[in-house]
């Protein structure tokens, strides 16, 4: 059998191309902002994770330019060897203080962070228990760990407890959950997860990629939102969303951080975050600390858009976070979803299509997401276009 045979099996991407509704790889010709030029036309951007709108902030851009001039374009090595800048250490210290943890380890991407954390912490005789709707990078981290993975139904605490009962008494156990789920925009039931972890002697890791800058005191994330910062053992987050850069991090106790630095293969064998990205992330963090009102503005924008969609009887996926800027709209089947997304795109609104396996079968979604810098006028314009297109499909 030719190993390339699988590459020639027809998939939904082929059907989408034939129908002219292929939704991926649209090329930006401007900055990542509330309004963009994409393939020659103005579009309202409702498909970005640039939650605080800081990718166009002059202070963040200036910090990146200065770092580029001072340190050059890259570090040409891993943090372990020649690739540690003083700025990396400064960023880690600033994040640790902000998140109220003893230490932070930074990784070159968010995806790599989850690979590096889980594969280092979970060993062959350990168990890792996952929410079924966790991000793909968490699942890949489990594969690298060689530990036993158990999955519980999304946000089902009874099912989580059933899985905890299966863990042998002498085995280590890590419960892993998204803080804010990237597709549904709902918030993990962290109080009950932490209670069960204490009861069964497990540790807790929260992927807060979509929580940092979005909720909690000053944007500190999901644990802060619930007042459980002292009960979450590991936070993971990214710089590519609220912090307007590229990279990721782990926040934990100093001893756990030191262990990961010396055992995590994705950390040890990858080049470090380039200087400009490091500087931009640090500047964005400091800006968020100085301007906590942008977090409030983001939450108010989310609430405003939900209200407008509700007034137009547009069915959104239920969420326990009405102020979360991820707002998924039901479109149910794959081809209609792609068709609607294409019509929205042609009418000047960019959204993301969520298809299986990212969405449950027959529950496809248009994933919309907001920024703190969206004006009410832009939100109103976008919702009017969404409502008009969905009305044609009786949705």
Query: Which residues are designated catalytic?
Result: 182, 210, 241
Closest to 149 (Cα-Cα) out of 169, 135, 131: 131
Q: What is the DSSP letter of 42?
A: E
Among candidates 180, 220, 225, 232, which has minimal Cα distance to 49? Answer: 180
List the one residue out of 68, 105, 111, 66 whose CA is nearest residue 84.
105
> Tokens in use for 281?
């992330």
Q: What's phi and psi for 106, nearest 5 deg?
A: -100, 145
The H or E element containing residue 139 is helix 136-145
Task: List residues bridging with 18 in a β-sheet.
Answer: none
Question: Tokens for 286?
Answer: 């400091």
Contact 152, 159 (CB under 8 A): yes
Write out the DSSP string of 1-15: --TTGGGGS--HHHH
Instruction: In whole angstroms, give the CA distance from residue 106 to residue 245.
Output: 13
38 DSSP β-pair partners: 28, 41
Structure-token pair, residue 138: 């968490």
Cβ atoms 382, 46 nearer than 8 A: yes
Coil, helix or strand at residue 166: coil
State how far Cα 391 lies from the chain centre. 31
Distances (CA, A) of 80 to 77, 83, 84, 105, 265: 8, 7, 7, 12, 11
**Residue 185 token pair:** 């925009």
The backbone torsions φ and ψ at residue 165, rounded to the nearest 5 degrees and listed phi first, read -65, -20
The H or E element that residue 379 is part of is helix 376-392
């Amino acid at each position: 059998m030719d190993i390339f045979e699988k590459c020639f099996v027809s998939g939904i991407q082929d059907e989408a191309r034939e129908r002219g509704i292929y939704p991926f790889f649209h090329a930006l010709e401007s900055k990542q902002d509330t309004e963009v030029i994409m393939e020659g036309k103005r579009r309202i951007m409702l498909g970005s994770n640039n939650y605080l709108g800081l990718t166009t902030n002059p202070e963040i851009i200036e910090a990146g330019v200065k770092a580029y001039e001072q340190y050059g374009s890259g570090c040409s090595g891993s943090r372990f060897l020649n690739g540690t800048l003083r700025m990396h250490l400064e960023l880690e210290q600033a994040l640790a203080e902000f998140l109220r943890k003893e230490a932070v380890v930074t990784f070159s991407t968010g995806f790599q962070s989850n690979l590096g954390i889980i594969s280092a912490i979970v060993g062959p005789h350990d168990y890792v228990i996952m929410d079924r709707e966790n991000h793909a990078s968490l699942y890949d981290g489990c594969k690298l760990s060689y530990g036993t993975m158990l999955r519980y139904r999304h946000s089902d605490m009874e099912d989580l407890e059933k899985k905890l009962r299966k863990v042998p008494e002498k085995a280590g156990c890590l419960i892993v959950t998204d803080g804010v789920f990237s597709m549904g925009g709902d918030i993990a039931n962290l109080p009950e997860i932490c209670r069960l972890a204490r009861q069964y002697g497990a540790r807790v890791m929260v992927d807060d990629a979509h929580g940092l800058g979005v909720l909690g005191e000053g944007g500190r994330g999901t644990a802060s939102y619930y007042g459980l910062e002292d009960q979450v053992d590991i936070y993971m987050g990214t710089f590519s969303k609220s912090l307007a850069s590229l990279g990721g991090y782990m926040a934990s106790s100093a001893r756990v951080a030191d262990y990961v630095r010396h055992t995590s293969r994705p950390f040890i064998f990858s080049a470090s975050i380039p200087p400009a990205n490091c500087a931009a992330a640090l500047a964005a963090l400091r800006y968020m600390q100085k301007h906590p009102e942008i977090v409030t503005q983001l939450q108010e924008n989310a609430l405003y858009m939900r209200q407008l969609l509700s007034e137009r009887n547009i069915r959104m996926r239920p969420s326990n976070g009405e102020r979360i800027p991820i707002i998924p709209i039901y479109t149910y089947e794959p081809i209609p979803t792609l068709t609607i997304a294409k019509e929205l795109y042609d009418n000047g609104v960019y959204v993301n299509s969520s298809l299986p396996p990212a969405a449950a079968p027959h529950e496809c979604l248009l994933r919309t997401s907001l920024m703190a810098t969206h004006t009410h006028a832009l939100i109103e314009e976008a919702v009017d276009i969404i409502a008009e297109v969905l009305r044609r499909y009786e949705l």
